[in-house]
Amino acid sequence: MAYKVLVINPGSTSTKIAVFEDETLIMEETLRHSSEEIGKYKSIYEQFQFRRDVITKALKEKNFEISTLSAVVARGGMLKPIAGGTYEINETMLEDLKIGVQGQHASNLGGIIANDIAKELKIPAYIVDPVVVDEMDDVARITGLPGIYRKSIFHALNQKAVAKRYAAENGKSYEEINVIVAHMGGGVSVGAHKQGRVVDVNNAVDGEGPFSPERVGFIPMGDLVEMCFSGKYTYEEIKKLINGKGGFTAHLNTNDAREVIKLANEGDEKAKLVLDAMTYQVSKEIGKCAAVLFGKVDAIILTGGIAYNEVITNAIKERISFIADVVVYPGEDELEALLKGALRCLRGEELPKEYK
């Protein structure tokens, strides 16, 4: 039996959609939203009907009959911490997406829109591996200050997808392998995957791990405290420095790794040093994950948009290839990753999980 699946991935200024028949792509669209359109709404949830209508319009313009769909799957939002996997959308999840139980993000709309379309058609609606996937060992959560614990917020969808891809290409299941996955995009997350669980990973949002094109990563806490109480910055400005205006953006006024490489190749010493520092920090984070896995590492996977840059991947390989073989899967095909999660449930290869 063939399955037709609608995939929805909302971003801050766009909504990506695709329709697949099994693994075959039927249509794909990136629906752009202007700042004027988005700016009319006071909250993420208030954008629901607008984005729902834009999707419906795009499908009609492509003459796609939604009544032929078997399921709808969407990128998960800022839910409560959950284990990885595919979840069937339920009322508890919808309520948490509406209020943004761990924060406001456009991805919160994905499950709400998917459920609305699926409910009308009486078909299943799913989310897959949202950024709040939390499978960390308890020992990884402890900090030196009681009451403050490390959180698992990372590029779970792509990290899990490439780890499963590596396992399949090597004739194994995800639950049989130990791999380290470094996702490098606007943010960088490096996860230790141990037999189907991400047992440790840096919080790619709140200042852990390597710096990236837009994020500061780890910085000395004493200096950060001084900044916070200097009177020069508001709370919102500090948060934006940590996530949005840090990394390459702070040092070189660009969040484009290609531009940084170009500057370095043209002899810009500052650009070269900053670039070297990022690859150094990514490599060091990979080394930390190797310790988490007791050195038993089947492979190290480099992925994300920055993994297209061989200058960066080669620099990282030079430092960490002694740990294990290094595999590069550049990019992040989130639409396909979401599809595969839905198909596994539709085909009975795994049961959808229940969000509580």
Residues 169 and 314 placed together within one structural domain of the fold: yes
Distance CA 356, CA 352 (A): 13
Residues 111 and 85 placed together within one structural domain of the fold: yes
Q: What is the pLDDT of residue 119?
A: 97
C-beta separation of 62 from 6 below 8 A:
no
Q: What is the pLDDT of residue 332?
A: 87
Residues 166 and 310 placed together within one structural domain of the fold: yes
Say yes or no to pLDDT of 34 above 90: no
pLDDT in tens, 295-341: 999 999 999 999 999 999 999 999 999 999 999 999 988 999 999 99
Residue 110 lies in a domain: yes
Residue 150 lies in a domain: no
Distance CA 131, CA 106 (A): 12
Say yes or no to pLDDT of 94 above 90: yes
Residues 288 and 308 placed together within one structural domain of the fold: yes
pLDDT in tens, 217-254: 999 999 999 999 999 999 999 999 998 899 999 999 99
| Weakest-pLDDT range from 31-45, 65-79, 148-162, 186-200 | 31-45
Residues 207 and 304 placed together within one structural domain of the fold: yes
Q: What DSSP designation does 111 have? A: H
The average pLDDT across 104-123 equals: 95
The average pLDDT across 32-60 equals: 93
Residues 298 and 179 placed together within one structural domain of the fold: yes
pLDDT band at 38 (very low <50, low <70, confident <90, very high): confident
Distance CA 21, CA 29 (A): 16
CB burial class (10 A; 0-12, 13-18, 19+) of residue 159? buried
Residues 74 and 161 placed together within one structural domain of the fold: no
Residue 113 lies in a domain: yes
Residues 16 and 105 placed together within one structural domain of the fold: yes
Say yes or no to pLDDT of 82 above 90: yes
Say yes or no to pLDDT of 274 above 90: yes
> How many domains is the chain built from?
2
The average pLDDT across 205-210 equals: 91
Domain hosting residue 227, numbered range: 156-330
Residue 144 lies in a domain: no
pLDDT band at 12 (very low <50, low <70, confident <90, very high): confident
Structure tokens at 165: 């891809």
Say yes or no to pLDDT of 198 above 90: yes
Q: What is the pLDDT of residue 281?
A: 98
Q: What is the pLDDT of residue 275?
A: 97
How confident is the prediction for the chain on average, in pLDDT?
A: 96
Residues 293 and 318 placed together within one structural domain of the fold: yes
Residue 295 lies in a domain: yes
Residue 141 lies in a domain: no
Residue 146 lies in a domain: no
Distance CA 345, CA 355 (A): 15
Structure tokens at 315: 């620099």
Beta bridge partners of 8: 17, 74
Residues 326 and 293 placed together within one structural domain of the fold: yes
β-pairing verdict for 299-304 and 24-32: unpaired
Q: What is the pLDDT of residue 205?
A: 84
Say yes or no to pLDDT of 204 above 90: no
CATH code, 304? 3.30.420.40
Nearest to 280 by CA among 210, 175, 225, 348: 210
Amino acid found at 265: N
Share of the chain above pLDDT 70, in %: 100
Residue 143 lies in a domain: no
Residues 182 and 257 placed together within one structural domain of the fold: yes
Residues 71 and 166 placed together within one structural domain of the fold: no
